[in-house]
């Protein structure tokens, strides 16, 4: 049985993760968010306005779940993960009971696998990465830390994706492609060639530009 959970964030992504946490019968004891708005899903749960409020709990008493969403150019999710990891807090991995995972996959600490996602044999999902609803990760893929594979994206076999990269909804990565660190693949794009670090792919034939 996992330790009690403290959720970072209270927005849309946090609500989705909290819903899965309930399905898994984990105990959510607090939500941390500067926002005073409260979704009904978080009713009856203690609310903290500051991240520093977490420090009243020892790092062996609770686990954290990162409820912040992940979009290109936004780093707060990653900063919080790094900050609390350095303080020896552990992030709980959250895997929907309605996702399909091979027993021969490896899921890093704090990774989140949402409803309808499929992850095939031999694949590795890095720490803090989101595999969002309905995304497909085929065999022997390596998804780096703090990535976001958005809803409906398809990653074919043997693909490597570097840390902090964002694969937008409906994007397709063909087999054997290597995508560098801090890359963005736009919605609906099909990537047919390798992408260097800090690049963006647009459109069906994956026009690639390097970000400064």
Quickly state the pLDDT bin for 207 (edges 50, 70, 90): low
CA distance 2 to 117: 23
Category of 36 on φ-ψ map: left (φ > 0), alpha (ψ -120 to 50) or beta:
alpha
Query: In the structure encoding, which two tokens stand for residue 153, read together?
Result: 């994206």
Q: What is the pLDDT of residues 83-136, one digit of tens each?
A: 999 999 999 999 999 999 999 999 999 999 999 999 999 999 999 999 999 999
Measure the CA dihedral 107/87/22/34, to 10°. Answer: -130
What is the mean pLDDT of the segment spanning 55-70? 93
Determine contact, residues 148/129, Cβ cutoff 8 Å. yes
CA distance 161 to 207: 17
Give domain 5-86's CATH architecture. 3-Layer(aba) Sandwich (3.40)
Domain boundaries, the chain: 5-86, 94-204
CA distance 42 to 173: 37
Amino acid 212: pLDDT: 46
Give domain 94-204's CATH architecture. 3 Solenoid (2.160)
Instruction: Name the pTM for this structure.
Output: 0.93
Amino acid 44: pLDDT: 83
Closest CA to 112 of 138, 136, 92: 92
Which of 5-9, 33-37, 139-143, 175-179 comes out lowest in average pLDDT? Answer: 33-37
Residue 161 has pLDDT above 90, yes or no: yes
């Amino acid at each position: 049985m996992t330790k009690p959970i403290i959720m970072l964030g209270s927005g849309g992504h946090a609500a989705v993760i909290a819903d899965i946490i309930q399905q898994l019968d984990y105990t959510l004891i607090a939500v941390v968010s500067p926002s005073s708005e409260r979704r009904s899903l978080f009713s009856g749960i203690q609310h903290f306005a500051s991240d520093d409020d977490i420090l009243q709990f020892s790092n062996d008493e609770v686990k954290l779940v990162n409820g912040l969403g992940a979009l290109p150019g936004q780093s707060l999710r990653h900063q919080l993960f790094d900050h609390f990891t350095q303080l020896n807090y552990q992030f709980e991995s959250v895997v929907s009971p309605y996702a399909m995972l091979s027993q021969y996959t490896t899921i890093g600490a704090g990774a989140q696998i949402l409803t309808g996602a499929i992850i095939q044999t031999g694949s590795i999902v890095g720490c803090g990465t989101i595999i969002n609803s309905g995304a497909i990760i085929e065999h022997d893929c390596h998804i780096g830390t703090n990535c976001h594979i958005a809803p409906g994206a398809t990653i074919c076999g043997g693909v490597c994706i570097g840390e902090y990269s964002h694969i937008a909804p409906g994007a397709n990565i063909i087999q054997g492609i290597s995508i560098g660190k801090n890359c963005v693949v736009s919605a609906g794009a099909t990537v047919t060639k390798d992408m260097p670090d800090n690049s963006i792919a647009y459109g069906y034939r994956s026009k690639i530009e390097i970000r400064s």
